[in-house]
Structure 1
Amino acid sequence: MRLSRTASWFLLAFGVWSWFIWVSFVRNLWKNGSGLAFDAAGDPTSYFWVHLTLAVTSFLLGTAVGLIGLRSVLALRRSSRAEGAEGAERPDRTDRPDRGTSA
């Protein structure tokens, strides 16, 4: 399956955004002094564990989506370089059987 250039860059940007947001969220959760994340004894509360689980899950999913985007961007760059080199050798590319397919 091929992704468009726009979709590839969007997925990559989403992965970077995920790293930024969720790492920041966990850092802020860890430093939380309002009494929600840690009780008076300094032990983590259920609020902490639920939000840490959400953050880690979202971070992992964002990482996976970002990796898909990165692989797609790199594949698009490789294919555009290959087509550029192929086009220089063979100016008439109308006889390519895979032209117009999304396989």
Structure 2
Amino acid sequence: MTLSRRAAAFLLAFGVWSWLLWPVFFRNIWVSDRSWLDGSPTAYLLVHLVIAAVSLILGTAIGVMGWRGLRVRRSARA
């Protein structure tokens, strides 16, 4: 299956967006008052850590698919 150039660019942009959004989100969760109780991480922090990690993994996979889709289309033109 070959992606259209537009679809591949969208997937790549989604991957980049994930890497711009989720580290900032996690940094904000890390400093939240609800993230720590007596120096120990709370369930709030751990759940959001898992959400951010999964989102980064999926964003990376989607971005790689987009990158590969663009590369294939570029090499097909040559």
Task: Give the TM-score range, shorter chain.
Answer: over 0.9
SS at match of 1:36: helix
Aligned residues: CA RMSD: 0.8
- Separation of aligned partners in 2, 1:61 and 1:47: 21
Per the alignment, residue 5 of structure 1 pairs with 5
- Separation of aligned partners in 1, 2:76 and 2:31: 46
Greater helix percent: which structure? Answer: 2
Task: Give the greater-gyration-radius structure (CA).
Answer: 1
Which amino acid in the other structure matches residue 34 of structure 2? L
Greater strand percent: which structure? Answer: 2
Q: How far off its partner does 1:6 sit? A: 0.5
- Separation of aligned partners in 2, 1:18 and 1:64: 11
Question: Post-superposition, which runs of at least 4 consecutive aligned residues in structure 1 deviate over 2 A?
Answer: none
Match of 1:42 among 39, 42, 46: 39
Tell me the TM-score normalized by structure 1.
Answer: 0.72
Aligned residues: 78
- Separation of aligned partners in 2, 1:42 and 1:29: 15
Higher relative contact order (Cα pairs below 8 Å, separated by 6+ residues): 2
Gaps of 5+ in 2: none
Gaps of 5+ in 1: 82-103
SS at match of 2:40: coil
- Separation of aligned partners in 2, 1:75 and 1:31: 42
Per the alignment, residue 27 of structure 2 pairs with 27
